[in-house]
Structure 1
Amino acid sequence: MTPERKRLTQLVPRTLLRLAAWSLCLIIIGWAVSYVVQGVAALRIVMLPVAIAFLLTALLFPVTRRLRAVGMRPIYATWVTILIALAVLGGTGWIIGVRANDEFPRLVTQVQATAREVQGWLQTGPLHLQPTQISEWIDQIAAQVTQQREQITQTVLTGATVALEVLASIVLLLFVTFFLLKDGDRIWSWFLKAFGSATPRVDRAGRAAWVTLSHYVQGTVAVAAVHGVIMGIVLAGMGVPLWAPLAVLIFFASFIPIVGIFFAGAVATLVTLGAQGPIYALVFIGILIVEQQLENHVLQPLIVGRALSFHPLAIILVLAVGGIVAGIAGAAVAVPIAAVIYRALPELMSDPPVALPPGTATPQKGDAGPPEAAPATEAAPATEAGLPASAAPGPGATADPGPRSRTSGEEAPGVPETAGSGTAAQAPATPSEAPRPR
């Protein structure tokens, strides 16, 4: 220790020095993370389509792989996969549009009837409100809407301006997804060339991240499908209009953990309340809570796996960060990105396991070093580093390829007798075998 450092440790406690060092490291890391977040937020028009393209690739790649397995060329397999996905999305959208167009007038009629029932209950129920009070509330709500009309109009115009950006993002999304499905392995091999000696470590981290992403996306889609089908059956059984669009809304909202199901459940509850009244709405809320608990404690661990689950607090924080950076789309991709980073970092930071020769004993905890060499007077073990006893050469000796009897110790024809440290004819006498002077 230098005199200056010794004097510093005498003036400042060692604990305070360590805290200062850790604080400096945390400040530097926070500064770097803030710049990364700002860069991602500035490039969200590019980053979000790329992130969603990876999610779609993880979902669609099993189809492409099976098409390749039956002999289809990669380009054709990719095109067939993309067309199947577009057909499914287009067909679903067409069915939802037709159902919504047919059932929306009935929904409006039922909502008006429910509003009249609620107004009558407010007047004749325990609240005993006067019609003038109800009219005043309605007028206040209308005034608030009128005051916010300018802001609503500006929001609509801003949304129309952003439509071109959304269209460009969709084109980029399809483009990236197509080439990831077609040339994903070649792109990964090209990407690894930039890391030199760290290529094996980066390769392990990337493969672990891809396995995690695939399991997460495929499991989440399965869970969301089960959730949407069950809620759709419940809504249809209650006679709620627009049950098919609501089921699809619940399906897509399930991709945003915790927050998404609350939003979709609230919309479905409001529609049920307006169409069928408060009793049906309360029944739907109870069924939704029970189904959500079954999903969290049975379906999610069974399909997605406990290895990919996060604590609810971590999910809320990740969703908050994703929503701040990129809105609803950022919240949708935040959890899978966090899962990928969580699984890839250990592989990136750890060293690869060292492959031991066959037959070598694994060092136990507490071993100070390699095992000591056996004395020259003792016979070598039957196998040393996976070689026969006759083939275990000593220092400076040449390994003999010929066989040797393990039981009698007789040498094979044409092969001199060997010992653990070399041939018997050339081995020097040990101190115990040297003649003692008289």
Structure 2
Amino acid sequence: MTFAKTYRLAIAAGLGLLTVGVAALTLYSVREVLVQVIIALFVAVSLDPAVRLLIRHGVRRSVAVAVIGVLVLAILVGFVWSLVPPLVGQAGDLLANIPHYQQELQDRSRTYQEIADRYGLTERLTEFARTLPAKVGGGALGVLTGVFSAMLNVLLVTVLTIYFMADLPRIRRGLVRLVPRANRPRAAQAINVVVDKVGGYMIGNLIISLFAGVSSFVCLFALGVPFALPLAVWVALTDLIPLVGATVGAAGCCIVALVTGDVTSTVVLLVFFVAYQQIENYLIAPRVLRNTVDLSSVAVLLAALTGGAILGVVGALMSIPIVAAVKVLMTPMVEALNEPPPREPPAEPPVPIPEPRGEDSSKLES
């Protein structure tokens, strides 16, 4: 190999590494925007089944997107408008009454009293409750900045979601064009299946969380547990988290019921959550998610851990339907590999040639 050829190869390799480095640095610089784009695309895919339902009834796609967008926005605004004032008030009362509840629990339980005296829990909780208003007031500017940034992020995700919902058919056609022409029908079918499964899974999870929140609120209100509304919202939000979310929500409610109420209410609440989890796992979830893909517990756990490590709670929520979509795409290939090879038809036996007899045989020999 000549020196000139070696030099050209070195220059090409260096330019390739430089290009890869610049691309990686660019992606890292715009990572927050990319996360927002991914979230918006995911929300658009999740709402696409509702849009197509209106389209099947003769509504144009632009009108259907507008209707779904206004409906979702109205639900969110109504939910926040009816929830935030009592939620803030009851959460403030809960934080303000922490020392009182802690003292009552200490008077009722000798074991807790010994633990509190050993580790100084009473003094720590009292100091935390006393300094919390000052911390909140001192960090008001930071809180306002965070709220304003969150509102801008929500607005950006909302606008991107609307654009993606309106142009989703064009995006799907563009993805299909990236595939060679011979494989485009199969690619289009795979994209349609993925969109259907992801949308069905997300809408189904939201419905299940709504069931969990409403039933928890009814039980908490019937038992007279204080702060029933924020606790019910806590259960609904944690129920979205795969595997451990329902347990975390139930544990929080039981702890609050034990601190603010009595042992009987806590036991009844614990029995309710255990019974509700069985109903949700074997009755509600199979009916709501009957059109989605079933995943094993190991796959759900690994997907949730991986998604949570990458994007936090949002990643944990998005990872499950993504893995389900991958399973949908991989299932035909796995089934094709497991099919037995076609059987070859049995070979026909050779036709015997009759030997000549008598004079004919002697003539042939001569």
Structure 1 length as normaliser, TM-score?
0.61
C-alpha separation in 1, matches of 2:255 and 2:113: 24
- CA shift in 2, pair 1:46/1:305, >3 Å: farther
Residue 121 (1) aligns with residue 108 (2) = yes
- The aligned residue for residue 356 of structure 1 is none
Instruction: Structure 2 unaligned segments of length 5 or more: list them.
Output: 1-23, 131-135, 349-366
- The aligned residue for residue 226 of structure 2 is 241
Residue 174 (1) aligns with residue 151 (2) = no
Aligned match for 1:225, one of 190, 206, 210 = 210
- The aligned residue for residue 13 of structure 2 is none
Residue 184 (1) aligns with residue 171 (2) = no
Aligned match for 1:256, one of 241, 246, 269 = 241
C-alpha separation in 2, matches of 1:163 and 1:111: 26
- The aligned residue for residue 19 of structure 2 is none
> What's the CA shift for 1:84?
1.0
- The aligned residue for residue 44 of structure 2 is 57
CA contact (8 A) 2:36 2:157 kept: yes
CA contact (8 A) 2:47 2:199 kept: no
Q: Whose Rg is larger? A: 1
> What's the CA shift for 1:65?
3.1
> What's the CA shift for 1:61?
2.9
- CA shift in 2, pair 1:171/1:259, >3 Å: same
- CA shift in 2, pair 1:202/1:41, >3 Å: farther
- CA shift in 2, pair 1:192/1:159, >3 Å: farther
> What's the CA shift for 1:92?
0.8
CA contact (8 A) 1:106 1:241 kept: no
CA contact (8 A) 2:96 2:129 kept: no
CA contact (8 A) 2:225 2:257 kept: yes
Name the SS for the 1:327 alignment partner. helix
Residue 343 (1) aligns with residue 328 (2) = yes
- CA shift in 2, pair 1:113/1:282, >3 Å: farther
Residue 45 (1) aligns with residue 19 (2) = no
Aligned match for 2:185, one of 200, 218, 223 = 200
- CA shift in 2, pair 1:188/1:121, >3 Å: same
Q: What one-letter code is carried by the residue in structure 1 that aligns with 2:305?
A: A
Name the SS for the 1:220 alignment partner. helix
- The aligned residue for residue 328 of structure 1 is 313
Q: Provide Cα deviations, 1:19-46, integer angstroms capped at 9, x if missing partner.
A: xxxxxxxxxxxxxxxxxx9999876524
C-alpha separation in 2, matches of 1:310 and 1:40: 32
Name the SS for the 1:343 alignment partner. helix
C-alpha separation in 2, matches of 1:350 and 1:42: 42
Name the SS for the 1:308 alignment partner. coil
Name the SS for the 2:179 alignment partner. helix
- The aligned residue for residue 81 of structure 2 is 94
C-alpha separation in 2, matches of 1:47 and 1:130: 48
Residue 284 (1) aligns with residue 261 (2) = no
CA contact (8 A) 1:201 1:347 kept: no
Aligned match for 2:65, one of 72, 78, 84 = 78
> What's the CA shift for 1:103?
3.9
> What's the CA shift for 1:304?
0.8
Name the SS for the 2:226 alignment partner. coil
- The aligned residue for residue 209 of structure 1 is 194
Percent identity (aligned): 21
Name the SS for the 1:367 alignment partner. coil
> What's the CA shift for 1:314?
2.1
C-alpha separation in 1, matches of 2:55 and 2:291: 31
C-alpha separation in 2, matches of 1:199 and 1:130: 67
- CA shift in 2, pair 1:156/1:108, >3 Å: closer
- CA shift in 2, pair 1:66/1:338, >3 Å: closer
CA contact (8 A) 2:225 2:261 kept: yes
Q: Provide Cα deviations, 1:163-211, integer angstroms capped at 9, x if missing partner.
A: 6764454233212321232221122112222222232232122112112
> What's the CA shift for 1:325?
1.0
- CA shift in 2, pair 1:293/1:306, >3 Å: farther
CA contact (8 A) 2:257 2:265 kept: yes
Name the SS for the 2:178 alignment partner. helix
Name the SS for the 2:154 alignment partner. helix
Q: Provide Cα deviations, 1:141-183, integer angstroms capped at 9, x if missing partner.
A: 678999xxxxx99x99988776676445423321232123222
Aligned match for 1:265, one of 238, 250, 253 = 250
Name the SS for the 2:180 alignment partner. helix
CA contact (8 A) 1:58 1:217 kept: no
Q: Which has the higher helix share?
A: 2
Q: What one-letter code is carried by the residue in structure 2 that aligns with 1:304?
A: L
Q: Provide Cα deviations, 1:94-143, integer angstroms capped at 9, x if missing partner.
A: 11123225545664676555333222234xx4788599x37944346678
CA contact (8 A) 2:107 2:113 kept: no
